[in-house]
């Protein structure tokens, strides 16, 4: 990452109200470099331009960190499962920004799970794990199950239900407000909050859908 991009990252982190130390900033920069390097061989993401990777991947994922921290501060648990994590977005970003959070990234593609394991080793993230599996086969329990542009809300919650802890929540990162997906949710799933996100440098709608099982 060039000095200019690193400066934009720092500015974006400040705009998002994140209190990251220089070690965490360095890890984010190193993660993006890893993603670019592995992308040449493994096609982890369609976005290849460094400027776009910064806004569409790093800052986009970072926008969800403050909402996640707010949830965890409410006495929530400390295990997160990121579903369909691909190149580790937002899972690796969560692991870097929340060192007390145990983050597992699951993907059905072996090379993507291997990349997560490589990133964990290269970045010294003992709280990050890559899992090669279908999410339906995982039992958890995970206190937060997250995804970013993974699947329709009804499918995401159905496939990952067994992995969710009894008092756990789903964190689904979406673009614009997914009204049709919300309308298609089954009676057993409650949408309790739609949180609008502002991504520095990205002129596009973003939100988090927070969901939980109905008791």
* CB-based contact 175:206 (threshold 8 Å): yes
CATH, residue 43 = 3.40.50.150
Question: SS3 of 146, please?
Answer: strand
Q: pTM value?
A: 0.95
Instruction: Determine the angle formed by the axes of helices 110-123 and 22-42, rounding to 10 degrees.
Output: 150
* CB-based contact 54:29 (threshold 8 Å): no
Q: Over the stretch 127-168, which tens digit does the pLDDT of each residue have?
A: 999 999 999 999 989 999 999 989 999 999 999 999 999 999
Q: Over the stretch 18-55, which tens digit does the pLDDT of each residue have?
A: 999 999 999 999 999 998 888 877 766 766 677 778 88
By residue range, what is the domain housing residue 157? 3-213
pLDDT of residue 44: 67
Q: How many CB atoms lie within 10 A of CB 182?
A: 16
Tally of structural domains, the chain:
1
């Amino acid at each position: 990452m060039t000095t200019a991009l690193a400066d934009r990252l720092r500015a974006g982190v400040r705009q998002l109200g994140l209190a990251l130390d220089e070690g965490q900033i360095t890890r984010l920069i190193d993660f993006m470099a890893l993603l670019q390097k592995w992308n040449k061989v493994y096609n982890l993401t369609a976005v290849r331009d460094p400027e776009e990777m910064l806004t569409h991947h790093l800052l986009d994922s970072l926008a969800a960190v403050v909402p996640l921290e707010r949830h965890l501060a409410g006495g929530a648990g400390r295990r997160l499962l990121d579903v369909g994590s691909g190149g580790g977005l937002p899972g690796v970003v969560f692991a870097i920004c929340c060192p007390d959070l145990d983050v597992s990234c699951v993907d059905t593609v072996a090379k993507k799970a291997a990349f997560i394991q490589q990133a964990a080793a290269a970045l010294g993230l003992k709280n990050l794990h890559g899992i090669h599996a279908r999410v339906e086969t995982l039992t958890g329990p995970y206190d937060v199950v997250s995804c970013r542009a993974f699947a329709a809300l009804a499918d995401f919650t159905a496939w990952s239900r067994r992995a969710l802890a009894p008092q756990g929540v789903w964190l689904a990162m979406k673009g614009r407000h997914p009204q049709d997906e919300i309308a298609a949710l089954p009676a057993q799933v409650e949408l309790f909050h739609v949180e609008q996100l502002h991504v520095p440098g990205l002129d596009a709608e973003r939100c988090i859908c927070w969901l939980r099982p109905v008791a």
